[in-house]
Structure 1
Amino acid sequence: MIAENIRNNVDYVKNRISRLDRAELALYDLPVIGRLVITEKIAFITPYSNRRHGADSPCVMVASGHPLYELADRLFVKFQQASRVP
């Protein structure tokens, strides 16, 4: 059932972004240990514990140039290299 839900979500997102120039979708075979959102200026890092996910987890916001921003950017690049396009 989870695999079917993921496929449905992927199909929905692919349909929504198909008209956008600056959007891409990639799948990763990684455990869900946190959330990482990066822009050109800010990184939002939300680590998940074994007992908390999403809204119950703290979110750290760091600016470009901060060592944690650089770490987040490096992680994102590595994840992107290991991804596959659906």
Structure 2
Amino acid sequence: MGFLRDTGASLFASALFVALAWALSKTARRFLRGLAAHLLHLDVEEVFRNSREAASDIKRELSRAREVSILTGRGAELQRDSFEELLLRCQARRCRCRILLPKLDVAAGEANWITNREEEMQAFDAAFGTGLLRRQIAATYDYLAPLSVVGHLEVRDYSVPHIGRIVATERVLYLTPYTADRHGRESTVIKYRRGETYDFLMRLVDKLWAASGPA
């Protein structure tokens, strides 16, 4: 009877320790997720709850990258610390970065995906619905224009639905799937190592890049 009691207490303590580690330690959560991905033969390297949690990891990967591709919505993150070193290295011609931003000038009869996304955002953020998203995207174009260097930092536009952000290097890819009920910065960020998902998403970026012209 004492053996069963001691064993039960030990199991409870172990379970409590794991639960606390999961609740309190990012390192523990990352380790367990990474182990599960390895055992299941998935190409997911890490999952972050939002862009803030992913920022330091993205910055670290960008600091050692030679080839970077970015597909984003409003692009406000490009003006933040996470991308500052990357942009400086591009200007110094030490790496190459391709940036795809939403197309501002829409022809008659063409789908207006900026308006489409702003209508979604208006439902949960009253600041939108007056053309704010378009102005924010235009501000990103203005910010990047003087930084552009042919062959090293180039910007093109795309005209597809705003359903996610991609930040890719030659080693990893971060996917932020946008939802219709929250800002992209609040969405989950999934980090993929090279594999089938990486190749699929890079194929999408390459085709959008080839189909667009200089912004």
Whether these two folds match at TM > 0.5 is: yes
Contact 2:147–2:153 (CA under 8 A) maintained in structure 1: no
Which protein has the bigger helix share? 2
Q: Report the more deviating stretch, 41-50 or 9-18.
A: 9-18
Query: SS state of the match for residue 157, structure 2?
Result: coil
Taking the aligned partners of 2:190 and 2:136, their CA distance within structure 1 comes to 29
> What value does the CA root-mean-square deviation take over the aligned residues?
1.9
Map of 2:175 onto structure 1: 45
Query: SS state of the match for residue 84, structure 1?
Result: coil
User: How far is the alpha carbon of 1:72 from its aligned partner?
Assistant: 1.1
Structure 1 residues 5 and 61, CA gap change in structure 2 (3 angstroms): closer
Taking the aligned partners of 2:182 and 2:211, their CA distance within structure 1 comes to 26
Map of 2:137 onto structure 1: 6
Map of 1:27 onto structure 2: 157
Query: What is the letter of the counterpart of residue 186 of structure 2?
Result: D
Q: Please point out which of 179, 183, 187 is paired with 1:57.
A: 187
Taking the aligned partners of 2:160 and 2:141, their CA distance within structure 1 comes to 16
In our comparison, the structure showing a higher alpha carbon Rg is 2
Taking the aligned partners of 2:178 and 2:187, their CA distance within structure 1 comes to 6
Contact 2:157–2:213 (CA under 8 A) maintained in structure 1: yes
Deviations 1:39-69 (A, max 9, x none): 00000011111112322111111111x1111
Q: Which runs of 5+ in 2 are unaligned?
A: 1-130
Structure 1 residues 61 and 13, CA gap change in structure 2 (3 angstroms): same
User: How far is the alpha carbon of 1:12 from its aligned partner?
Assistant: 2.0
Contact 1:34–1:48 (CA under 8 A) maintained in structure 2: yes
| Alignment TM-score, normalising by the size of structure 2 | 0.35
Deviations 1:4-56 (A, max 9, x none): 543343122111234x7511111111221000111000000111111123221
Equivalenced residue count is: 84
Q: Which runs of 5+ in 1 are unaligned?
A: none
Query: SS state of the match for residue 25, structure 1?
Result: strand
Percent identical residues = 30
Contact 1:38–1:72 (CA under 8 A) maintained in structure 2: no
Contact 1:44–1:59 (CA under 8 A) maintained in structure 2: yes
Moved over 4 A (4+): 1-5
